[in-house]
Amino acid sequence: MTLAASSFWDDWPKFVPGWLAFVATVGTWIYKAWTRRHTVALGAADDELREALEAARTRFEDIIAQGRRADWFMDEKRRETARKIRDLSERRKDEALRVELTKVADAWDETFALAPGAGGPWVRFMDQPSTPQERAESARVQAQFGKEADVARTALEHITTALTRLNELERKTLGRS
């Protein structure tokens, strides 16, 4: 009995490096699986998504500052805003981020739907009073601009939430601060 007990105590230094290598290997596998999960959740082209959200934020701020008509939305730079955000959201696996991106894209579509049509060239002379039709049209357009601004404010909240979630995923995956 003493022979078996003495042989274990004599041999344990031989097995420690193997067990340490085993623990290190399993720990590395767990870390890689964890990081892979976050990388998949973050998705590809996170910088492209950040640029699209920042561009959308600037455009929504423009809408809040001054109401925009439908022809403003049809400009080549702004036409694809919602589609680009939707395309980038489909590449993400994180559900919270996808929901916020979808809400931003829906808000862009809603502001476009609320935008009044392009105003015609009205020529009024200074001494002519405005007609009741012109006043009613002006009030209707101002009301639509107000609705646009309300939707744009909620969209800015969704953009802020999406950027916060994107930052959290980047910190977990890439270690950015």
Average pLDDT value for residue range 73-92: 88
Domain that holds residue 75: 43-174
Q: Three-state DSSP class for 177?
A: coil
In a domain? residue 6: no
- pTM: predicted TM-score of the whole model, two decimal places: 0.69
Instruction: Give residue 1's pLDDT band: very low, low, confident or very high (50, 70, 90).
Output: very low
71 occurs within a structural domain: yes
- Return d(Cα 85, Cα 104) in angstroms, integer: 8
- Domains: count for the chain: 1
In a domain, 129, yes or no: yes
Whether the predicted pLDDT of 9 surpasses 80 = no
Query: Would you say residue 101 has pLDDT above 80?
Result: yes
Q: What is the mean pLDDT of residues 147-176?
A: 88
SS (HEC) of 106-159: HHHHHHHHHCCCCCCCCCCCCCCCCCHHHHHHHHHHHHHHHHHHHHHHHHHHHH
Q: Is the model's pLDDT at 58 over the cut of 90?
A: yes
Least confident of 9-18, 50-59, 120-129, 149-158: 120-129
Residue 124 lies in a domain: yes
One-character DSSP codes across 39-61: HHHH-S-HHHHHHHHHHHHHHHH
Tens digits of residue pLDDT in 115-141? 887 765 555 566 677 777 777 777 888
**Inter-CA distances, 171 with 100, 162, 163, 164, 167, Å:** 19, 14, 12, 11, 6
